[in-house]
Structure 1
Amino acid sequence: MDASVNPFTQGLDKTTANYAPLSPLSFLARAADVFPETTAIIHGQQRTDYRTFYRRARQLASALGSLGIGKNDTVSVMFSNVPPMLEAHYGVPMTRAVLHSLNTRLEPAVIAFQLDHAECKVLITDREYAPVIRQALSLATVNPTVIDYSDPEFPQDGERLGSIDYEEFLQTGDPDFQWSLPDDEWDAIALNYTSGTTGNPKGVVYHHRGAYLLAQANVITASMVKHPVYLWTLPMFHCNGWCFPWSISVVAGTHVCLRAVRPKTMWDLIADEQVTHLCGAPIVMSTLLNAAPDQKRDLDHEVEFFTAAAPPPESVLAAMKTAGFNVTHLYGLTEVYGPAVVNEWKREWDGLPLDQQARKKARQGVRYVALEGLTVLDPETLEPVPADGETLGEVMFRGNVVMKGYLKNPEATDSAFHGGWFHSGDLGVMHPDGYIQLKDRSKDIIISGGENISSIEVEEVLYKHPDVQAVAVVARPDEKWGETPCAFVELKAGSSVTEADLIAFCRERLAGFKAPKTVVFCELPKTSTGKIQKFALREQAKSL
C-alpha cells in the first residue's frame, strides 16, 4: 500500500447521505413534523400551531419566488413583533434570499440608505409605519415591490403603500412549496445594520451556519426544556431577535408576540400564558418593576430574564428576584449575532453576600458554547493582557458566530478582523477566573489630566444611589483637564436629590478625579432597544 495515501481521506467523501449544510430552517421543519399541533405563535386571540406556521412560511417562500426572488436577493421587512416577522425568518431564506429587518424607530433618510445599500427587491411593511416608509421610498433610488401588512388583532390606520396585502400575497403561494437547504452553510441568511452613530450604518452579514449554531447555543444557555413559552419583549429586528426566532423551534416552544412593551400587557401575558423566558434591555426590567400596583400580577412560577447592555444595579436584581424573575447577564454585538457571552453563574456563588453576588453578576462572563474564542488583548500588540481584573484591553472574538463581514465594505471588514480576531471596540479586563468585564467603549473612555476614567465605573456608583433611575456618564471638554466626567441622570419620581448630593455621593466611593464634575437631570435618550444614546449626550455635554 502506498504510504503517501492516507486511508482517512480515501473513499470518505461528503455525500447527501452523510452531509447537509447547517441551517436554522431545518428547526421549523422538524418541529412541524414532530409537534404539528403544538402552539407555535400566540398573537392577541390568534393561536397558530407548528403545522400552520410551517405551511405559511412555505407559502411566503413560494410567493416570493413567483416575484423572481432567489439566491442573494434582499427582502426587507418593517415589522414590530408580529407573526409575519417570524414567518419571514423562515420564508425569506427558504428562497435562498437574505432577510433584512429594519429598525422600526429609524428616520426616513436612514431607512432609504439601507434599502439602497442592500439593493432591496421586496419590502414588506406594517401599515403602522406607512408614513415613515412612504418618505423613505421617496428618498431611495431602489423601487422594491411593496407588500402591506394589516394586523387583524391590532388594526392600524396607516395607508396602503403597495398593490397587495400580506395575506392576499400569501394566498398566491404554495403551502407545500419544496424549499431546499442553502447550497453552502456559509451563504448569507440575514443582513443587520449597525446603529451608524459615526457616519452611515454598516451592513452586518450573517450566514446559515452561524445562525444555526447561535440558535442552539441560546437553548443551552437559557436551559430551555421542551415547549418553553417565550415573550417577545426584545425587538425581532435587533440582531434577528438574538436568533431566538430560530431557537424556539429547536424545542417546539411558543412565541408570544408583543406589538409594544407595555407594563400591564407584559404582566398579563407572563401570568396568563405561563411565560418561561424573555429577553430585553434594562429598560424592560424597569418597565416591569415600575408598573402600577394594579397592573402587576403575582406569579406562580419563576421566569428567566436575559438582559444585555449595562449590568443591572444590585437593587434592581433584588427587586426582580422578589417579583419572580431570575436575571442572567449576556453580552454581544450585532457582529456576533447578538449574545455570544454569558455570565455563567456558579452554584458556589449562591452563598456569597448579596453585594458580592452583585459584583459577580456585573461581569459580562465567558464565551457561549458556540463561540470558539473570547479574550482581552492589547489592541496595538494583540498580546493578551494580564488576567488581573485591572489591566485594560480590547475585547475580541473568534469563531463561527462572528459575522461574514460588512456588506460592500472590505476596508471596514479587514479592519474589524485585523490579526485574526474580531475587534469589538469594547474595552475590558480579564479576571483571574477567565470572566471578562467591560469597562467602556473605546470611544467612551474619559481622559482627564492624562488619567483614564471608565464611564461604566462611575455609572455603577451612581446606580447605587437610591434616587437614581438611569444614568449615563460621558466626557465634557475642560480647558484645564482636557475632559471631565459629566453625568446625565434620570431621577425616580418624587426625588429631591441635588447635583451636589450626587457629586458628594461619588466622591465618597471613587477617587476624586473620577467623580463627575457636572450632573445634568433629564430624560435619557434611548434607542428602540433601550440602549442609552451616549453619542447624543456627548454632543450635549460639549454645548454645556
Structure 2
Amino acid sequence: MDISGLPGFYAIAAADPGRLAVIDTDGTRTTYGDLLARVNQVSHGLRARGLGTGAVVAGVLPNGIDALVMVMATGQIGLYYVPINWHLTPSEVAYILDDCDAEVVVTDAGHTVPGGEIGTAGLAAGQPTDAPADRTAGAVMWYTSGTTGFPKGVQRPLAGAEPEAIVPLHAWFVGEVVDLRPGDEIHLVTSPMYHSAPCAHVQFALHLGHTVVITPRFDPVNILELIERHRVSNAMMVPTMFHRMLQLPPDVRARYDVSSLRQVIHTAAACPVAVKRQIMEWWGPVLYEYYGSTESTIAFAVKPHDWLARPGTVGRPAPTFEARICDESGAELPPGEPGTIYVKSSLGTFEYRKDPGKTAASMMGEWYTPGDIGFLDEDGYLFLCDRRTDLIVSGGVNIYPAEIEAALLEHPAVADVAVIGAPDAEWGHSVVALVQPAEGVTPGPVLTAELLEHCEPRIARFKRPKLIEYRAALPRTPTGKLSRSKVRQDYLAEAGNTSSSL
C-alpha cells in the first residue's frame, strides 16, 4: 500500500501490518504488525514497572530485534533510552548506569548486568498488544565522553507530543539531507546500534516504512552478499568499512550485484578522497556524507555529485543549521581561513546530563562547537583540517586519551603517560601509548605485557593501546598540563609522518 502519507512507524504498522519490517541476524522475518505488537507490550511492561515520562531505561544489547523494540517502545511513552556499548567492561557499564539513573536495564543472555532483564520477553510477558494510553514521544540519550574521558549523556528536551506529531519533521529533514523517502526500500544495518548514527538510521528506516536487514557485525563479503540477496537500497557505513571493502580481490568484488544501492550514508570519521572515489567507481555515485556529532546531530551534509565537484568537503550546513568559523577570541573568520567550527540550529538544544559546566564549556552563546578545526570555502562548503586535538577516531569510533591514560597511571610502573592517535591506513587512527616508566623500572616487552594485562579489566578492548613505546620524559606546559600536541608532533616526526590528519 502507499504509505507516503502515514506519519511514521506506529501508523504504518497499524495500517499495513503485513508489511515486512525486519530481517534479523538469524534470518527471522518480522512484520510491521508483529513488531508493533511487541513494541506495545514492552511499552505496557515499562509502564507497569512504574516508569513515568522522563524516566530512563538502558539497554545492553547486541544488534537484533530486541534493540529495535526498545528504541520504538520507549519512543512512544516519553522515556529516555540509553543504548550501552556491550564491549565495555562491567565497571564502565556500571558508571553509565549510575550516571543516567536507569530504572530498568534490558540485556540479552550473553551479557550479565546487575538488575538487568533478559531481552524484551520479560517486559512483554502478559501485556496487551494494543497501544498504550497517553502516548508521548521519548528520546534516545547517547553517552559520549568529550576530551575528559568521562562519559556524559547528551540529553534533549522531550517534545511533549505524540510521536506522530514530530516524525514528519524528522522525515523531511532526512529526506532533504540524504534523499531517503517513504516506500518499499531496504535498509542494511552494518554497525552496532549502540552508536548514535546507526541507531538513528534504524529509526528513520522504520518511520519511512523500510525493511531493516540486521547484521551482527561487519564482514565485507557478508555485506555484499546481503546487498545482493535482499536488494538493499540504503545503508549507513563508516570509512573503515570502505577501506576493508576495497581490500577484497577484484574477482570477489565483481561477484556481487550492488546495483540496487541508491544511498550509502557515511559519517563518524574523515574519509580519504582516494577511498571515496574508488567506492563510487565501484558502486556508482551513491555516497552521501554528513558531518556532525552526537550533540549537534547532522550539521553539514553533501550529496554524491556535489562531493565529486568538491572532493574532500563534508558539505554545506544542513537544513535549519547555521555555521561559522571562529578564531580563538570568537571572532568570525573569512572563507578559506581555518578555525574552530561552530553551529546552531532551530531544531532544539541539548545538555550534558548532570554537567552544566561541560554544557556551558561547549557553547558560545547559542553556538555549539564539536572542537574541530576547519574552513568554509566561498560557497559555504566545509573542509575539515583535523579532528579534535586530543580525540582519536578509530574505525569511526571516538576514543578518548584521558580515559586510557587514567587506567595506565594506576599501574605502579608508570610515572607518566600520553596517549595519542597515530595515522592508520585501515582504521583512520590507532591508539599509541607513550609511557614514562617510574624510577628504577626497566622498559621492554615484559613491562608492555604487564601494562596490557593491567588494561584488560579497566577499559574495553577497542580502547586499549595497539602500541606502547617508552620515553625518558614527556613534555608538559608551564602550568603542568601534558602537551599532547608536542607529544604527537614529536612522535609523528620520529615515525617519518608530519601530519596527524586523516
Pair in the same fold by TM > 0.5: yes
Residues 377 and 396, structure 1, Cα contact 8 Å, conserved in 2: yes
RMSD: 3.7
> Which residues of 2 match residues 52-201 of structure 1 at below 5 A?
52-130=34-112, 133=113, 137=114, 144=115, 146-149=116-119, 166-182=120-136, 189-195=139-145, 197-201=147-151
Q: What residue in structure 2 maps to residue 496 of structure 1?
A: none
Q: What residue in structure 1 maps to residue 264 of structure 2?
A: 305
Q: What residue in structure 1 maps to residue 224 of structure 2?
A: 267
Is 1:205–2:155 an aligned residue pair?
yes
Quick check: 219-228 or 230-239, which moved more?
Answer: 219-228
Is 1:362–2:332 an aligned residue pair?
no
Counterpart CA distance in 2 for 1:308 and 1:109 is 29
Q: Deviations over 1:193-239 (max 9, x none)?
A: 11355231121013455984445422332212322211001322112
Residues 58 and 82, structure 2, Cα contact 8 Å, conserved in 1: yes
TM-score for the superposition, normalised by structure 2:
0.72
Alpha-carbon shift at residue 93 of structure 1 (Å): 3.0
Alpha-carbon shift at residue 491 of structure 1 (Å): 7.8
Alpha-carbon shift at residue 336 of structure 1 (Å): 1.9
Q: What residue in structure 2 maps to residue 372 of structure 1?
A: 321
Counterparts in 2 of 1:271 and 1:223: CA distance versus 1, 3 Å: same
Counterparts in 2 of 1:300 and 1:308: CA distance versus 1, 3 Å: closer
Is 1:427–2:427 an aligned residue pair?
no
Is 1:35–2:16 an aligned residue pair?
yes
Q: Partner letter of residue 321 of structure 2?
A: E
Alpha-carbon shift at residue 255 of structure 1 (Å): 0.7
Alpha-carbon shift at residue 346 of structure 1 (Å): 4.9
Q: Partner letter of residue 311 of structure 2?
A: K
Counterparts in 2 of 1:320 and 1:204: CA distance versus 1, 3 Å: same
Is 1:441–2:387 an aligned residue pair?
yes
Q: What residue in structure 2 maps to residue 335 of structure 1?
A: 295
Counterpart CA distance in 2 for 1:283 and 1:248 is 23
Is 1:283–2:240 an aligned residue pair?
yes
Counterpart CA distance in 1 for 2:177 and 2:208 is 13
Q: What residue in structure 2 maps to residue 241 of structure 1?
A: 198
Q: Partner letter of residue 409 of structure 1?
A: D
Counterpart CA distance in 1 for 2:237 and 2:468 is 22
Counterpart CA distance in 1 for 2:224 and 2:99 is 40
Counterpart CA distance in 2 for 1:38 and 1:249 is 11
Q: What residue in structure 2 maps to residue 507 of structure 1?
A: none
Q: What residue in structure 2 maps to residue 506 of structure 1?
A: none
Counterpart CA distance in 1 for 2:261 and 2:140 is 33
Is 1:322–2:276 an aligned residue pair?
no
Counterpart CA distance in 1 for 2:232 and 2:27 is 16
Alpha-carbon shift at residue 331 of structure 1 (Å): 0.6
Q: Partner letter of residue 421 of structure 1?
A: W
Counterparts in 2 of 1:437 and 1:63: CA distance versus 1, 3 Å: same
TM-score for the superposition, normalised by structure 1:
0.67
Counterparts in 2 of 1:534 and 1:95: CA distance versus 1, 3 Å: farther
The SS at the match of 2:190 is: coil
Q: Deviations over 1:76-96 (max 9, x none)?
A: 001222111111111113232
Counterpart CA distance in 1 for 2:287 and 2:143 is 28
Is 1:384–2:332 an aligned residue pair?
yes
Q: Deviations over 1:396-455 (max 9, x none)?
A: 12124454211011111122223221122111111100111111235259xxxxxxxxx9
Q: Deviations over 1:253-294 (max 9, x none)?
A: 011111111223211111000111111211121233324555
Largest Rg, 1 or 2: 1
Counterpart CA distance in 2 for 1:315 and 1:410 is 42
Residues 198 and 236, structure 2, Cα contact 8 Å, conserved in 1: no
The SS at the match of 2:300 is: strand
Counterpart CA distance in 1 for 2:282 and 2:175 is 24
Residues 20 and 32, structure 2, Cα contact 8 Å, conserved in 1: yes
Residues 267 and 290, structure 2, Cα contact 8 Å, conserved in 1: yes
The SS at the match of 1:335 is: coil
Could you tell me which runs of 5 or more consecutive residues in structure 1 were left unpaired when the two chains were aligned: 1-24, 138-143, 150-165, 351-356, 446-454, 457-471, 475-482, 493-526
